[in-house]
Structure 1
Amino acid sequence: MTQLSLGLDTFGDVTVGPEGQPQSMDRVLREVLDQATLADEIGIDFIGLGEHHRPDFAISAPEIVLAAIAGRTHRIKLGTAVTVLSTDDPVRVFQRFSTLNALSNGRAEPILGRGSFTESYPLFGHELHDYDQLFEERLDLFAHLLREPRVTWSGQTRSPLNNQPVFPQLGQPMTVWVGVGGSPESVVRVVRQDLQLMLAIIGGDASRFAPYVDLYQRASAQLGKPMRPIGVHSPGFVAETDEKAQEILWPHYADMFGRIGRERGWPPVTKDRYLNEVHQGALYVGSPETVARKIARTVKTLGIQRFDMKYSTGPVPHVDLMECIRLYGEKVIPMVQEMLADKAA
């Protein structure tokens, strides 16, 4: 069995300072660099930076931030959560990650996806009605670029390539994941392209995603593709006690989901609904032991090989994020490994 990998994700949520005022985005980006450096120092396996084009998230060019992180770290894998491939050029995405992979000595691990927001469509001149076709074609082209030194490809959403080399070519292998939010068609697409499946579980009990793991396994067998590691991305937050973790995160969770909810017409965020997600859903919030038990249960239930916790949700202050990262690396990860080893014995 593939060894379990435990990582962290962030969107570079705009944090608040000591007086509760929003920090500038340039400061937030420097904070992300410090957070990733700490994660590397304490042995966390992966750091993923989500691409967004909104006022509440500072990271719009994750590969540049990852390159800065590469220069300050030694072992941590460097990826995205996600790269919005639908509204980017797959050739340029490949070139950026091939460059990052070279500079980091093989540590690049992009996660490709559609993203959960739509701001990039008008920003980069794309139409939302092309949502499915854009991702289908661009993922197909990226898969060709990943494996072929010269690419011949044609589609409807960009110009064709004819026996085209793309530089820099990969000097060493690069693992590529595809983020999936819960569509059977998306799971089968990942298998067809022979990439790795990352399930974005951001609400409800993780066990409801078991049918997608089963579908991945059946599709792999039917299409003659190898079984590759499966990962899960979910939000969470760690503090010394359950009560402290819940109370630190709650106002920032309410702030972020309140704003997004008003945009999308969702019901108001309540603390009862928040606590229900903490206790029964996809919020991995609590003491190190509580979070470790929940992660271990998810790993066993779904049979996954990778878990990434999105440690930033709303404008949580940098000092609290750093403590969360420290507890995750120094306490949660060893506890998860011990719990899983005990159950396997």
Structure 2
Amino acid sequence: MDFGLTEEQRLVVETTRSFVEKELYPHEAEVERSGHLRREIVEEVKAKAIAAGLYAANIPAEHGGAGLDTLTWLLYEKELGRANYALHWTCVARPSNILCAGTPDQIERYLKPCVRGETWDCLAMTEPGAGSDLRGMKATARQGKRGGWVLNGTKHFISHADIAGFVIAFMASGEDDTPRGPRKRITAFFVDRGTPGLTIRDGYRNVSHRGYTNSIIEFDDVRLPAEQVLGEPHRGFEVANRWLGATRLQVGATCLGRAERAFAHAVEWAATRQQFGQPIGRFQGIGFKLADMAVEMKAAELMILEAGWKYDQGTATDADMAAAKLKATEMLAMVADEAIQIHGGMGLMEELPLERIWRDARVERIWEGTSEIQRHIISRALLRPFGA
């Protein structure tokens, strides 16, 4: 097994890290203090990201993206993850891979403008009464009498819907009878901004990821032609499972980058802060914290990269990705907390990025599947061979 990076991977890492430090870090203080990412910053940094070849790097080259394999993409995500989330996600956008499942016309209309930086997409799944239980969604799509579809319902916690040019909406479109009771069918749709009946409202104020917005989306008799279906009718879950599986690894990879940034501050502080005539890192109470942080970071990194490698080989399981996401997100929470503890009161001050990393870490154990959901996936995989 080769643990070394290829020349291409080293170049991707170095280029992305340099871009993050030079183009994203300088804007962090403004975004953190205002809670708002100015459009002027977005356009300036986006143009530089496109020129650097870092924009839409997750999208296949045939559609205009960089075409990174999953493992290299995760290394790239790790470097982007060092910065404020709103900055790297909005200014160095990675369109949803699910757009690749569209028809040729849909790819031209929706995917390619995202790749060119002309617009953004957003995914609308979560509802006020259906979070982890997507089969429990209440928002509906019914087929009209004259063809097409009519959408009704509400979605919330929809990331960056305020700037998106269109919504990829997942709606309950019927039911199947199964031995375990009725099972909802799900259909995915493209819904253009400005479509009659579509309303996008401001969401909730969030302790994590300032400047990265969430919205509430309401569908009130939104009428769509049949060609607005993404994939096949009633097969929305199949489309999502095929194209969105690696998003859990993306979350984990960005956690690795933030953990490394927090850890670097902690090590430097422990080596230079003097107490009782010596660096505080020489006291076991601090030195052992650093050792534990380093071990947890290494374990999480290996799990994320192994899962990414297996994804490229076509051998990754849901349990592989769930375990990697679980480990990385819980590792970040631990590292961020210990980094602040090592700094003492200074760790909570805005002069350092630690209090931001600590706040931002909290949402990682919730979105893209809670830690409890990840544990459920893992335990179910362990018990399944025994029929339990």
TM-score (norm 1): 0.32
Q: Greater CA radius of gyration, 1 or 2?
A: 2
Structure having the higher helix fraction is 2
TM-score (norm 2): 0.29
